[in-house]
Amino acid sequence: MIRLQSLRKITQRRDTSLIILIVLLLAVVTMRAPGFVSADNIQRIVNDTSILVMVSLGQFFVILAGGIDLSVGSVIGLSGMAAAMTNQYYPGIPAVVVLLIGVGVGLVLGLINGVVVAYGKVPAIITTLGTLSIYRGLTFVLSKGQWVTAHEMTDSYMRLPHGNLFGISNLIWWGVLVSVLMFYFSGYTRRGREIYAIGGNKVAAKFVGVSEQKIYMIIFTLSGMLGGLAGVLWTSRYAAAVNETASGFELQTVAACVIGGVSIAGGSGAVPGVILGALFLGIINNALPVINLSPFYQLFIQGAIVLGAMLINTVSERRREQELLKGRQR
Amino acid sequence: MQQADRQPKQELVNISRLIDENSLKEKLILLFTKWEVLLGILLVFEFILFSNLSPYFLDYFNLMNSTFNFMEKAIMALPMIYIIMSGDIDISIASIIALSSFAMGYAASMGMDVAGIILIGLAAGTLAGMFNGFFVTILKMPAIAVTLATQSLFRGVSQAVLGDQAYTEYPKSMAFLGQGYVGDTLIPFELVIFLFLAAVMGFILHKTRYGRKLYAIGSSREAARFAGINVSRIRFINFTLMGLFCGIAAVLLTSRIGSTRPNIALGWDMEVITLVVLGGVSISGGKGNLFGVIMAIFLLGYLKFGMGLINLSAKVMVITTGLLLVIAVLLPGFLDGVKARRKLKSQQMASTL
């Protein structure tokens, strides 16, 4: 009986059910296209999804604290454009410095969100809905509507995501690095635990001395920095900085979190779930052309998946609450 | 008390007179920190500024005709007042337009007549609104999460079917709705529809029990529930109304531009929410009125028209709208802070006296 219960607990965890779901999904797609599950293709999918993983982890902390960051797509666009243009006009600057500039731009943009939310007391949704347009508009102003294309970028800049280490692309290593850091941050640092506390119960967290304002500053700055990093890697990976880079990307990051079992109300969720959620989305996006569905279906499928995942989250949360209540009655 | 004793009495009397609530100065301060009055002053400034910058601004024909560009958004802002008033939000409205316009295009391609097309457009919008309302009130999911998902779902339907195609074949007689004028005047038909809908929605908001309930729910959902208000039902009706009005806006917009593409009305969620928030409706619920929103609609609409006249790019307008949204939320908090401090001061004075 005890063993059965612990087995049930394992299958009820979001990570495990997601892994099962991913395996099932891969199996179904493989039936239609046998080459889909090859080492090569798997690496391609992970490579495609690395940027989504990074930005989703930034989004994760914001949602965890009870907010939402709708400006990530525009942050990626603006910081990517800034980095690419730096590279274009000053090819002498080492690529690593350009990378830092991109991250720096993202940091500032995130900081602005953080200040308005923490000190201006403007709800996160409104703030980032506003900065979503402001940052996107600034991208156009900065670039004057022009693109930066492959022949205007230096080789070392384009090598940032394309290089190899132990046969695995740099982009994947970047994703792994960010994932490990964020996993450590969320579970093993004081600030990480404080974010859970704020999202779980704001009032209680304040009473034990957690500064709400400091946490808001941290999460939005973090989300901005990861957006900045993603912006640099995005423009260098596709060897083009266009004005619409990553527009609408915010939905995918929220989707990855929701699929990964992060409660949109804040306070619950974990890094591994978010990573698996992002991978799940990545596999679906890669599988669409393989199973002969036009990419125009992507938007609809994404919306349906997010709605479905949120429904599952809500139902399971409610069941957990009921079980807690039952336990108390006993 | 000791400190107060040390101060000369004359000075105290002076200070207390300064913050006398009935004095003219205090009344003026109260009046000019009122949101609608501020918006009105801004509107006057805007007119003075643009009529100096461009000779074409202060022209009856231009001022009437430019309303075409923002009347659909204005219509969508009306039920958005209800939604934000009761503490919800709907960021799927632009996608409802896409869905509704797609449904109309499909109906037109099947050879339906104008009345049928309009009916289909309104029905599609209403159903989409009910869909949102179902998830928010019956399944009790957060409005922001639901409408974020349906934002892609609704537009996704249009995109999945249309791809990079468009519906462009609409009956000729449909064009009147979005392009026509009333009789021989220069008054656009869309403007008249908006004014009519605004009157109805304003009456409901300010003169009926439904309106009072909205304020109650916005102030405290729990308290409203304990007072016997069926909160879920009212929120459901709000989302349904939002859908219906998006349907109306979709009919007008489709008729005005005469085509349906998957990217129709992209980014309008932000603009409509900006109108409502700029109009003084508090995002935390329970505050605001119709008049302020109408002021905001014309303020922003003519701002865009004026900026277009002096050749500012569309992107500058997008930035301005975004900035206005953030500032419009920042400022009331700041003003409230000032008012509260003044009140505190006067209370302290009263207690020391």
Domain boundaries, chain A: 13-329
Q: For B276, which residue in chain A has the nearest alpha carbon?
A: A126
What pLDDT shows up at residue A311? 85
Instruction: Please tell me the distance from the alpha carbon of residue B66 to that of residue A262, in angstroms, as a whole number.
Output: 45
Could you tell me which residue, A80 or A39, shows the higher pLDDT? Answer: A80
Q: Lowest-pLDDT range, A86-90, A253-257, B97-101, B213-217?
A: A86-90
Residue A142 pLDDT more than 70? yes
Q: Which residues, listed in sequence order, are joined to residue B188 by a DSSP beta bridge?
A: B181
Residue A48 pLDDT more than 50? yes
Residue of B83, B271, B319 to mutate, interface with A, max A Cβ within 10 Å:
B319
Average pLDDT over residues A163-185: 83
Instruction: Please tell me the distance from the alpha carbon of residue B297 to that of residue B276, in angstroms, as a whole number.
Output: 8
Q: Lowest-pLDDT range, A129-138, A238-247, B29-38?
A: B29-38
**Which helix (H) or strand (E) segment is A318 a member of?**
helix A298-329
Instruction: Please tell me the distance from the alpha carbon of residue B299 to that of residue B40, in angstroms, as a whole number.
Output: 8
What pLDDT shows up at residue A124? 87
Could you tell me which residue, A3 or B38, shows the higher pLDDT? Answer: B38
Average pLDDT, chain A: 83
What pLDDT shows up at residue B322? 85
Residues in chain B closer than 8 A to A310 (CB atoms) = 141, 145-146, 149
Residues in chain B closer than 8 A to A125 (CB atoms) = 89, 144
Enter the ipTM: 0.81
Residue B230 pLDDT more than 50? yes
pLDDT, tens digit, for every residue of B232-258? Answer: 999 999 999 999 999 999 999 999 988
Percent above pLDDT 70 for chain A: 95
Average pLDDT over residues B267-293: 87
Residue ranges per domain, chain B? 39-352
Q: Which of 1.20.1300, 1.10.357, 2.40.50, 1.10.3470 is the CATH number of B39-352?
A: 1.10.3470
Residues in chain B closer than 8 A to A296 (CB atoms) = 159-160, 162-164, 262
What pLDDT shows up at residue B126? 96
Fold type of domain A13-329: ABC transporter involved in vitamin B12 uptake, BtuC (1.10.3470)
Continuous H helices in B54-166: 60-65, 71-85, 93-109, 114-133, 143-162
Residues in chain A closer than 8 A to B150 (CB atoms) = 303, 307
pLDDT, tens digit, for every residue of A7-21? Answer: 556 555 677 778 888
* Alpha-carbon distance values, A224 to A46, A128, A161, B118, B136 (Å): 23, 11, 19, 44, 30
Residues whose CB is less than 8 angstroms from the CB of residue B258 and which lie 6 or more positions away in sequence, other chains included: B168, B170, B175
Cβ-defined contact of A123 to B284 (cutoff 8 Å)? yes
What pLDDT shows up at residue B246? 96
What pLDDT shows up at residue B311? 81
Cβ-defined contact of B160 to A296 (cutoff 8 Å)? yes
Instruction: Please tell me the distance from the alpha carbon of residue A296 to that of residue A283, in angstroms, as a whole number.
Output: 16
What pLDDT shows up at residue B4? 47
Residue A262 pLDDT more than 90? no
Could you tell me which residue, A4 or A170, shows the higher pLDDT? Answer: A170
Beta strands in chain B (DSSP E): none
Chain A residues in contact with chain B using a Cβ-Cβ cutoff of 8 Å: 68, 116, 120-123, 125-127, 129-134, 136-138, 140-141, 251, 254, 258, 264-265, 294, 296-304, 306-307, 310-311, 314
Cβ-defined contact of B273 to A126 (cutoff 8 Å)? yes
Based on its alpha-carbon atoms, the radius of gyration of chain A, rounded to whole angstroms, reads 20
Cβ-defined contact of A132 to B152 (cutoff 8 Å)? no
pLDDT, tens digit, for every residue of B335-352? Answer: 777 767 766 666 666 666
What pLDDT shows up at residue B118? 92
Residue A3 pLDDT more than 70? no
